[in-house]
Amino acid sequence: MREAPRPADLLDWYDHNARKMPWRIGPADRAAGQMPDPYRIWLSEVMLQQTTVAAVRDYFERFVTRWPTVTDLANAADADVMGEWAGLGYYARARNLLKCARVVASDHRGVFPKTYDGLIALPGIGPYTAAAISSIAYDLPETVVDGNVERVMARVFDIHTPLPSAKTELTDLAKTVTPNARAGDYAQAIMDLGATICTPKNPACGLCPWRRACLGRANGTHVELPKKTPKQPKPTRYGIAYVVQRVDGAMLLETRPETGLLGGMLGWPTTDWGDDPRDDAPIKAEWKSMNSEVRHTFTHFHLRLNVKTAYVPMERMPSRGGFVEAGDFRPSDLPTVMRKVFDLVQSGLKR
C-alpha cells in the first residue's frame, strides 16, 4: 500500500538540506526561537515572482542595505526604488512594492499584519504572497503554492489535469498535506524540494523524502508531470527608440506612464509598439538610424526596436521627456530593454 506524503519526512530532509538564503532563518535558528523579519520575507517573495533565486540575491542585498526597514522603503523616492529595481523586470511589482510599504508604514505603524486577511488587504499582495508571509514569518498553517509546489503535488498525487486548469485541484491537495506545526519550515521545505530534487527535468527521485509516497513515480508518469496546456505563439511588435544627446553630454529620457509595460520607469523616448509604428521623434533633429535593431521578449510578445540617434544644441527643447545631466545619468537605472538600446548605441560609437 502506498504511503501518504508525511510532512515529518519532508521536514527531516529540510533540517539537513535547507538552502541558505539572505532572507531566510534556518531551521536550527528557528528552533532556537529566532523568527524571520516579515519585511525581508515580503521583499524577497515579491522579488522572486517570475524570477530565480540566483537573479534576486544581489538585488535583495542592495535593497535591505539601502532600506533596512519597511519604513525606510516607504520614505524612499520613487525614482530611487525604480532605479534599484531596473533589470528585475515585471515593473508593476516595484510600483506595488512602494504602495504596500507606504500603507504598512502609515496605517500599521511599520509592522506587517499578522493574519492572512490583514496581509491580503495590502496593495500588491495576493494569495500566494499572503500565505508565504503568514507561514514563513509568523508560522501560521497557511498553504503556500508556487510552481515548485504545483509540480510536487502533481507528481506525488499523479494528477494529469494540465496547468493552469489544475491550479485549484493542486492547491486543494497541498492543503491536505500542510501541517499545523512548523508551518514556516514546511512551506520553505516543499519549495526547496521542488527547486532542488523534484526538478522539471531529471528529478533526483532517489534522494526524495517522499519517494515512497509518490504515486507518479510508482506509475512511471512523474517525468511528464505536471502537464501544461500548449502556449500560443507570441506575436511580434515593432517600435522606434530615440537616443538624443545634447552638446553638453546630457541625455534625453522620459518616465513612462504609470500604467502599462515598464510603468514608471525611466527610458528613451519611443514610438508606440505595434505592427506599423509611426515616426514620433521627441525633438527636432537630424536623425541617424542604427544599422542594427534591439530585440527583447516580454511575457506576451517579442519586441523589435529600430534605434535612431541625434545630437542637439543647448537651446533645443524636446516635445516630451527631459534632459538628464551627464553626471546624473546611470545606465544601470534603465530597464533591460532600454539598456540594450544604450549598449547598441555605445557599440556603434566604438566602431
Catalytic residue among 45, 84, 150, 293: 45
C-beta of residue 60 within 8 angstroms of C-beta of residue 47: yes
Based on the residue annotation, tell me whether 3 is a catalytic residue of this protein.
no
How many Å apart are CA 336 and CA 343, to the nearest integer? 10
Name all contacts of 88-93 with Cβ < 8 Å and 24+ positions apart.
88/47, 88/51, 88/55, 88/56, 88/59, 89/50, 89/51, 89/335, 89/336, 90/49, 90/50, 90/51, 90/299, 91/261, 91/262, 91/263, 91/264, 91/265, 91/335, 92/263, 93/46, 93/47, 93/49, 93/124
How many Å apart are CA 234 and CA 162, to the nearest integer? 20
List CB contacts of 270: < 8 A, sequence separation 6 or more: 239, 240, 241, 242, 305
Catalytic residues: 45
